[in-house]
Structure 1
Amino acid sequence: DNEFSNSITELRRIVNTVITFTDVDECIDSMTNIKDEKILMIISHELDENIVPIVHDFTQINAIYIFSKNKSQDKEWTQQLPKVKDIFSSISSIGHVLKQDSQNCDQDSVSISIVSTKTGKLNENLDQLDPTFMYTQILKEILLTINFNQQHIEDFTNYYRENFVDNAIQLNNIEQFERNYANYSPIW
């Protein structure tokens, strides 16, 4: 229906991937296959008591939002589950919290390593550095020295167009990237 379609569009403005399920088992199977991403899950009131106790302890679940017209009816049992953020009566109210939580997920997944060069002992301690830091340095050097030609850009944008075929916002971002890429450095 139109209201559902508008809700999905509104959510896609906040997060890149929105997957809907009507079958609890299919939803659980899909979540167990996701390993390296955080899931922000919206559950309708009709399914909340069936699925929340099952998925609450999944490590990939970062937050659960319950969409219900009758907020007071569900409030009591959800208070004992820390991943359940709240019960919301509108998609727009979920959207505000979802936006903040998705930004927090993005910030939490960024790894930062700091190495002091003032000690003079940098070279002798390189073998003790965090591997993530070393891989980040290697990736940075590669990105700074690589020269992408037009075919690389086309391959890249075609790949993402296929993955975001239903997401107008991301398709617009891809178009902007394709038009403007040559005008900017890939690393700022």
Structure 2
Amino acid sequence: MRPRRRMTQNYLIIWVDGKIDENTEDYRNTLVQLHDVASEVKPCTTREECVEYLNEIDDGKTFIISSGALGQSLVNDIHGMPKVDAMYIFCGNKAHHESWAKEWPKIRGVFTSIKPICESLKKVARHCDHDNIPMSFVSKQTIVGEDGSQTQNLDQLEPAYMYSMLFKDIILEIDEDDKKPMKALVAYCHDQGVSKQQLNYFQNEYNQKSAIWWYTENIFLYSMLNKALRSLDMEVMVKMG
């Protein structure tokens, strides 16, 4: 049994097309635009490969971009999966595929260009991040005495609440002039598939804004930090702090 895949953001993109050719300029340009939306983009050339990859994902949401040729059969296999949040049909004959695509609620539309798909994906991804912002509450801890009596222990906090406080401290107290952690963070994010365009923008402009401003900027930081907090991934939180 293969190990489950851990996502670094709350979502990823799967691009399904039997005609994907990694040696073409069109493929590379499309991949660059998709990486501007999500750090993890998985190209698949068959329906079976897509389904197998979906079954290996541990949590989070998936956005599917499929060719018209594979989309009609693929949607039958994956539309009912909770982890599939949205689907897009990317084809050369819009009118031909709109007739069946409109029958499936998760299909956001049929497109002949990647640009409007990416514009829609950015909005959907932002909503996904908002939906996954963790909320922590301090619950009362009950202590049972030897005589069976129960009292409330106010000295103990939920682990999730403590991690949330640690996260807040990291964001508010980050040393904006320390270049060593910046290089380590950029290297880590590069390994996770974050686009060079976003990393260059972040690295070149970082000192011009506050850490909180960057957290709210519509780039990889917002999603990656929220995912780390939701899953209590201390490795990611420390690297970003």
Compare 34-43 and 140-149 and name the one that shifted more. Answer: 140-149
What SS is found at the alignment partner of 2:198?
A: helix
Greater share of strand residues, 1 or 2? 2
User: Could you say which residue in structure 2 is the equivalent of 1:33?
Assistant: 56
CA distance in 2, matches of 1:152, 1:175: 11
How far is 1:141 from its partner? 4.0
1:93 paired to 2:116: yes
TM-score scaled by length of structure 1: 0.73
How far is 1:67 from its partner? 0.8
Q: Alignment partner for residue 51 of structure 1, among 74, 77, 84?
A: 74
CA distance in 2, matches of 1:15, 1:187: 21
Distance 1:7 1:39, change over 3 A: same
User: Could you say which residue in structure 1 is the equivalent of 2:96?
Assistant: 73
**Match of 2:188, as an amino acid?**
Y
CA distance in 1, matches of 2:59, 2:128: 12
CA distance in 1, matches of 2:190, 2:136: 33
Q: Alignment partner for residue 200 of structure 2, among 142, 155, 172?
A: 172
How far is 1:4 from its partner? 2.7
Q: Alignment partner for residue 107 of structure 2, among 62, 67, 84?
A: 84
**Kindly, what percent of the aligned residue pairs are identical?**
31
Compare 41-50 and 134-143 and name the one that shifted more. Answer: 134-143
CA distance in 1, matches of 2:137, 2:42: 37
Distance 1:158 1:95, change over 3 A: closer
Compare 132-141 and 57-66 and name the one that shifted more. Answer: 132-141
Distance 1:156 1:12, change over 3 A: closer
Distance 1:83 1:36, change over 3 A: same
Q: What is the count of residue pairs matched by the alignment?
A: 176
Q: Alignment partner for residue 156 of structure 1, among 158, 174, 185?
A: 185
Tell me, which stretches of 5 or more residues in structure 1 are unaligned?
116-123
CA contact (8 A) 2:91 2:110 kept: yes
Q: Alignment partner for residue 168 of structure 2, among 122, 140, 149?
A: 140
How far is 1:97 from its partner? 1.5
CA contact (8 A) 1:161 1:174 kept: no
Q: Aligned Cα RMSD in Å?
A: 3.3
Distance 1:29 1:155, change over 3 A: same
CA distance in 2, matches of 1:134, 1:111: 13
CA distance in 1, matches of 2:87, 2:204: 33
CA distance in 2, matches of 1:42, 1:85: 10
CA contact (8 A) 1:44 1:67 kept: yes
How far is 1:110 from its partner? 1.4
**Match of 2:196, as an amino acid?**
A
How far is 1:54 from its partner? 0.7
CA distance in 2, matches of 1:25, 1:16: 23
Tell me, which stretches of 5 or more residues in structure 2 are unaligned?
1-23, 139-151, 214-241
CA distance in 2, matches of 1:31, 1:90: 25
Distance 1:126 1:16, change over 3 A: farther
**Match of 2:103, as an amino acid?**
Q
